[in-house]
Structure 1
Amino acid sequence: MKIESLRVGAYKIPTDAPESDGTLQWDATTLVLVRLDCQGHTGLGYSYAHAAIAGLIDSKLRPVVEGRDPFEGPALWSEMLNSLRNMGRPGLTSYAVAAVDVALWDLRARLLGLSLVDLLGRARRGIPIYGSGGFTSYSLSRLREQLGGWVDQGISMVKMKVGRQAEEDPERVRVARQAIGDQAELFVDANGGYRRKQALELGKRFREEAGVSWFEEPVP
């Protein structure tokens, strides 16, 4: 049993409107998609990363993977990392290896006729989810609509972005709390947009004024 081909492509997907968080703005998302073919089955993997990793995967990782047994998991992982040794391990190289590794796991599950959760070993029947959005580019009405809509659909935890205009964030967080009611959990994510003292002060306000239970990446 051998992997017959690795194909990779980068796709730019426009958002329905410009979006921003505490430190970045964008109007599209780049998806790098990997396809592995073996005995009539195709495993899919992807990374949310710069399109440059498509070339990295094709030039460096494809020669490692093609012609190999897809069940050589640890060996393939080590050899992929070794092939990128002089490029450093963090950053784009990690995104590249991750996309291929996910495709390998998907391919193994398909070859065995199993769901991936059963191949990995199911530990529970279900897990709670949270809705993530509430971008800093949203108007208050759009913020209410999105977060409140998720709770109406039965999602009991929601996360919103803060950190771009700190002086407006307490009001935005209060509006979010009003939209989701008292029973849902509210998370905030600043994407490193605050200074240390600013984060401490605002974190306290978010907790006291809106019952925020999770404050993600407050500082760089």
Structure 2
Amino acid sequence: MKITRLRTRVAHLPVAKLFSTGRYDVQSIDCVCVFLETDEGLVGEGMCYVTNGRRLKVLREMVVSLEHLVIGLQLGQSGRFVLNAFNDVRAFGRQGISALAISAVEEALWDLRGKQFGVNVAHVLGACRTAVPSYVNAMWLSSTIDELHKEAEGLLKQGFRAIKMHVGLPDPDKDVERVKAVREILGPDVVLLADAAQLIASPKASIRLARRIEEFDIGWYEEPVMGSNPQSEAEVAAAIDIPVATGEYTYNHQGIFELLKLKAADILMPDLQRMGGPTEFLKAAALCEAFDIPVSSHVFPQMSLALMACVHNASYHEYINWFDALYQEPVTRDERGASIVSGRPGWGFAIDPSVLKD
């Protein structure tokens, strides 16, 4: 079976409620959806995204520029595509928009491989679990304390047993107040994670905040300082008792290796599109296993779920609702709040054609 065509469409997904990351407001998630057609009628699906539609056209053009590397490719040769694609963009750069585009195409190749055999990607790879412990990424900096209360109560009703909130406000007293308020709603039995989202420039300031919120039993302290300086992350990780999580802005497995060598974190979080696709994601996870470091996925809950089912050192599968409207099937959870690995072929989630535009 061979690839005969690569086509792209876009999806504009407005967020249910505008929220702030601390750097900018997010109004929409905008996706470049990739469809690989074959000579036997199967179609593989993948995607990459931007926020607020910025640089969507550039990203789409980058995806289309990879078409010559997949036309005529046999389905079992996704590794050949990855090798050739990273070589093809070498002069342009292997990170940034190159990695995002390569990821989307490789995702579609893996989706096809699962569909070819009629099984989920997790079973093509060799799953070691049928459900992955999950947390929900929510409670952004733009929420008031009253809104945090309501959101926490709603997430508990949905069955989540691990919840991430955001910190990193200019006034650390407000961060402490917000963390305390959320912990009071969650009670002692729900895992509470804190994400500083690289908003704190000084390691010393980040260490001070971590020590102040430690009493609220924080499961991890994420992106504690600017990620462009992993030495600073290592400084924070060495100074506090809360486990540090980082890695979502790191590109390729080589970047993860650098974080591991520096002991920059206790948990690493490869991002599927910044890694450059499933192959690089799994390389990163294997490197982490060699260093006895657990792995949590970042965003892409639909596709990351199958990969995390195969990662021996899996920590958490991140659920975020950004892409729910893109897919026809929901991510489901068991009674423990763990994400259930789909039994459907490919990634197990089909893009809804009604949300696509040319």
TM superposition score normalised by structure 1: 0.93
1:127 matched to 2:128? The reply is no
Q: If each structure's strand is expressed as a fraction of its own residues, which one has the higher value?
A: 1
Q: How does 1:126-165 map to 2 (within 5 A)?
A: 126-165=131-170
Name the structure 2 match of 1:110. 115
Cα distance, 1:146 vs. partner? 2.0
Cα deviations across residues 2-35 of structure 1 (Å, max 9, x unaligned)? 1121111333321122211233322111212111
Residue equivalent to 1:45: 46
Counterpart residue identity of residue 175, structure 1: A
Write the distance in 2 (CA, Å) between the matches of 1:32 and 1:141: 36
Structure with higher Rg: it is 1
- Map of 1:197 onto structure 2: 204
Note if contact 1:161-1:188 (Cα within 8 Å) is conserved in structure 2.
yes
CA contact under 8 A between 1:13 and 1:30: conserved in structure 2?
Answer: yes
2:87 to 82, 93, 96: 82
Give the alignment of 1:54-69 within 5 angstroms. 54-58=60-64, 60-69=65-74
Question: What letter matches 2:203 in structure 1?
Answer: R
The AA in structure 2 aligned to 1:13 is L
AA aligned opposite 2:28: A
Check if 1:184 corresponds to 2:209: no
User: 1:179 & 1:35 partners in 2: Cα distance?
Assistant: 44
Determine the C-alpha separation between the residues in 2 that align with 1:9 and 1:216: 33
State how far apart, in whole Å, the 1-side matches of 2:99 and 2:106 are.
Answer: 10
- The CA RMSD over aligned residues, in Å, is 1.4
Assess, with a 3 A threshold, how the Cα gap between structure 1 residues 166 and 90 changes in structure 2: closer, same or farther.
farther
Q: Tell me, in whole angstroms, the C-alpha distance in 2 between the residues paired with 1:22 and 1:170.
A: 16
Measure the CA separation in 1 of the matches of 2:157 and 2:189: 12
- Between the aligned partners of 1:205 and 1:213, the Cα distance in structure 2 is 14
CA deviations on 1:47-87 (whole Å, 9 max, x unpaired) are 133412111111x2111112211211211111111121111
Correspondence for 1:14? 14
* Residue type of the alignment partner of 1:132: N
**Match for residue 100 of structure 1 among 87, 105, 110:** 105
8 Å Cα contact 1:43/1:104 also seen in 2: yes
1:129, CA displacement in angstroms? 0.5
In the alignment of these two chains, the number of paired residues is: 218
Cα distance between partner residues in 2 of 1:162 and 1:32: 30
Query: Given that residues 22 and 161 in structure 1 are in contact (C-alpha distance below 8 angstroms), is that contact kept between their aligned partners in structure 2?
Result: no
3-state SS of 1:87 partner: coil
* Separation (CA, whole Å) in 1 of partners of 2:7 and 2:190: 43
- AA matched with 2:204: K
| Cα offset, 1:214, TM superposition | 0.5
Q: How does 1:16-35 map to 2 (within 5 A)?
A: 16-35=16-35
Q: Distance in 2 between matches of 1:158 and 1:187?
A: 6
Q: What residue identity is the alignment partner of 2:113?
A: R
Shift of residue 153, structure 1, vs aligned partner = 2.6
Preserved contact between residue 19 and residue 25 of structure 1 (Cα < 8 Å): yes
User: Residues 21 and 190 of structure 1 are in contact (CA less than 8 Å); yes or no, is this contact kept in structure 2?
Assistant: no
Q: SS at the partner of 2:82?
A: helix
User: Which range is displaced more, 5-14 or 64-73?
Assistant: 5-14
Asked if the contact 1:80/1:97 (under 8 Å) is kept, the reply is yes
Cross-structure match for 1:217: 223
Q: Give the Å deviation of 1:120.
A: 1.2
Point out where structure 2 has 5 or more consecutive residues left out of the alignment.
Answer: 227-358
Is the contact between residue 41 and residue 110 of structure 1 (CA under 8 Å) also seen in structure 2? yes
